[in-house]
Structure 1
Amino acid sequence: MSLTPKSLSRRNLLRGLGGGVLGAGLAGCGVPAAYVAPGDRAGADLSADDKRLAWANWPLYIDTDDDDTTKRPTLEAFEKRTGISVDYVEEINDNDEFFGKISPALMNHQATDRDLIVMSDWMCARFVRLGWVQEMDRANQPNVTKYLDPLLRSPAFDPGRAHTVPWQSGITGIAYDHRRLGREIRHVSELWDRDLKGRVTLLSGLDESFALLMQGNGVDITKWTADDFHQVCDQVEKYVHNGQIRRFTGNDYTKDLVSGDVLACQAYSGDVIQLQADNPDIRFVVPEEGAELWSDSLMIPDLASHKANAERLVDYYYDPEVAAELAGWVNYVCPVPDARNVLASSKDEETAALAENTLIFPDDEMRERLVIARDITSGERVEFSKRWNAIVGL
């Protein structure tokens, strides 16, 4: 098994901002969770006789061959092992955009022509709430049952992960340049220190940014309130006006950090692994108050024609050997902790070193500070998006 870390992160592409006009409008569209009648979500499953499935994913989010990027070794191995042909399409560039693309069919109780999709958990929450995804049959997924990371097993929006299974996970924390700053950062509140004035950035996306800032205030993000949200907004607004915050960013925060224009910022763990390859002085910290653990998760839409085939593919990627190969390529937090032992046993030193990287396999100390935030409900989203977007636009 050849595992080679790549220099380009999927999150360097566009991510859904979550607080955009499209997201706010659709979230408040009034489609009830019970719109699809119980028992109506599953169409005729053709899996027994039709050995194929259609899978929509994000770009750069699966292993590819070093010499031919059109080849995907783990996926091709699945096809060979099972005889199931996978139509793999990298068509998801933004959560809200893709939601808008397939929601008309789902809203009208029509098939999406996709058997498996990957969405960020805050968007998965919307699908689950609307009743637009099917419950997975764990009898077809022994690897998921056995190997799924306990930290990811039961988010508030999908208790027991009945409708979603994490594809890859990650941490929203703080990245900083230790050499340029000349000290360590351990707390969220240190973003507001005087020596960082004008050299701090925050993520512009509502869903990506609010939880870490709440944790800095000592809030339990599994049960945060509207008051907690508005307190964060008051703080951020203050630091925008006094010049502490340089700007709000998408994934372009990496450029500011590399150039030295920014000394500390909200950041994703997977990005920092890539940055550290060129600059070991860039560090990622899970603050002592905690950090948000998030996932991009697999779901089977309503009326998918190949549900059992999709369940089988999901379970295949929870085989620790397969999960290790994928983790070695994408460098996000692996949702299969047992994959660490596979990487550690590699004779290749670079591959074995990945097993010791706590941003891929968090150690026990770090795991104690990682929390999955409760999602923003449809009733909250319009109000919260309006307030947050007003601040980001200042």
Structure 2
Amino acid sequence: MPVNRKTSPPSRRSLLRALGGGAALGALAGCGVPAAYVGPGDRAGADLSATDKRLTWANWPLYIDTDDEDSTRRPTLEAFEKRAGISVDYIEEINDNDEFFGKISPSLMNHQRTGRDLIVISDWMCARFVRLGWVQEMDRSRQPNVVKYLDPLLSSPAFDPGRKSSVPWQSGITGIAYNRRKVGREIRHVSDLWADDLKGRVTLLSGLDEAFALLMQANGVDIRKWRADDFHQVCDQVERQVRRGQIRRFTGNDYIKDLAGGDVLACQA
């Protein structure tokens, strides 16, 4: 989201709760919109796979392989369509978890179709969907590759014990992307983002888990057991960089356009 000095920002207390993980997500799902909860008996959707050979898949930009010579082609997706006989409408429409949640949640809380068969969201947002009852258990007998190849480290997250209602699409890292040709040097540390010659041409991610985890690590914090003081230290650092105009804006995956277009020289990515 853009930096906006005209509106009151959320309190540090609310941000701290949001970043805290499991318990906070349960509170958001349980009491924020109680009428949105869907009971176990109402979660099953009709299986139309025998007659409907189309699939709509909502994903993030740059989250699937493309052909080296033709970026509009997606070899893995094309291979799937040929092998399965299923036509896939692949939409790169997810820029930010909260933004996408706001887009489809009205349909889900009213037991209506979203128009999408598959969605890819971050694990903490997936936790919210699970706790709201917006997902149903998958039939693993129809997914032998999941059973055979799923990394044991990802097989039973706290929000989905036994991984019954979700499947990991990617597991990766948040890092720093930059235009070395224009910057004229390597960027090796978060502190490098605060250089004077990058003023106004740096972006951070809007997702607290991604943005703050990297910033905390830069402060030498073990992010598996961070404390409130670590959080407040990062808040102070970010606020200071916002006030001095160092940070252009906070983004979802649309940092890609800023970086490619030259408006941004370095960013969380």
Measured against the shorter chain, the TM-score band is 0.5 to 0.7
The aligned residue for residue 365 of structure 1 is: none
Aligned residue for 2:259? Answer: 254
1:102 aligned to 2:104?
yes
Residue 73 of structure 1 deviates from its aligned partner by: 4.3
CA contact (8 A) 2:179 2:259 kept: no
1:222-233 to structure 2, matched below 5 A, reads: 222-233=224-235
On the 8 A contact 2:135/2:165 being kept in 1, the answer is yes
Contact 1:105–1:112 (Cα < 8 Å) also in 2? yes
Q: State the secondary structure of the residue aligned to 1:88.
A: strand
Q: For 1:52, give the aligned amino acid.
A: K
Cα distance in structure 2, aligned partners of 1:198 and 1:155? 42
> Which of 34, 37, 49 in structure 2 is aligned with 1:35?
37
Alignment of 1:117-266 (within 5 A): 117-150=119-152, 152-175=154-177, 185=188, 187-189=189-191, 191=193, 196-199=195-198, 201-207=202-208, 208-241=210-243, 243=244, 245-250=246-251, 251=255, 252=257, 254-255=259-260, 262=265, 265-266=266-267
Q: Which residue of 2 aligns with 1:86?
A: 87
Q: How does 1:242-321 map to 2 (within 5 A)?
A: 243=244, 245-250=246-251, 251=255, 252=257, 254-255=259-260, 262=265, 265-268=266-269
Which amino acid in the other structure matches residue 198 of structure 2? Answer: R
Distance in 2, Cα, partners of 1:266 & 1:72: 26
Q: Deviations over 1:254-289 (max 9, x none)?
A: 258x68x84xx4432xxxxxxxxxxxxxxxxxxxxx
Q: Secondary structure at the match of 2:105?
A: helix
Structure 1's 203 and 67: CA in aligned 2 closer, same or farther, altered over 3 A? closer
The alignment yields a C-alpha RMSD, in angstroms, of 4.0
**TM-score normalised over the length of structure 1:** 0.48
2:6: which partner in 1? Answer: none
Distance 1:104 1:127 in 2: 13
User: Relative to structure 1, is the Cα distance of residues 61 and 53 closer, same or farther in structure 2, using a 3 angstrom cutoff?
Assistant: same
Unaligned runs of 5+ in 2: 2-8, 11-17, 19-27
Question: How many correspondences in the alignment?
Answer: 235
Higher RCO structure (Cα 8 Å, ≥6 apart)? 1
Measured against aligned partners, the alpha-carbon deviations of 1:49-102 in whole angstroms (never above 9, x if no partner) come to 33524322235654566788776543343344334x334141624344432332
The 2-side partners of 1:255 and 1:80 are apart by 33
Map residues 54-69 of structure 1 onto 2, 5 A cutoff. Answer: 54-58=55-59, 61-63=63-65
Give the gaps of 5 or more residues in structure 1. 1-13, 15-19, 269-394
Residue 237 of structure 1 and its aligned partner are, at CA, apart by: 1.7
CA contact (8 A) 2:213 2:223 kept: yes
Partners of 2:238 and 2:72 lie apart in 1 by: 44
Three-state SS of the structure 1 residue aligned to 2:170 is strand
Maintained 8 Å contact 1:199/1:244: no
Q: Which amino acid aligns with 2:91?
A: E
User: Aligned letter for 1:212?
Assistant: L
| Distance (Å, rounded) in 2 between the aligned partners of 1:239 and 1:101 | 31
The residue identity in structure 1 corresponding to 2:236 is: D
- Structure 2 residue identity aligned to 1:50: T
CA shift, 1:126, in A, is 2.5
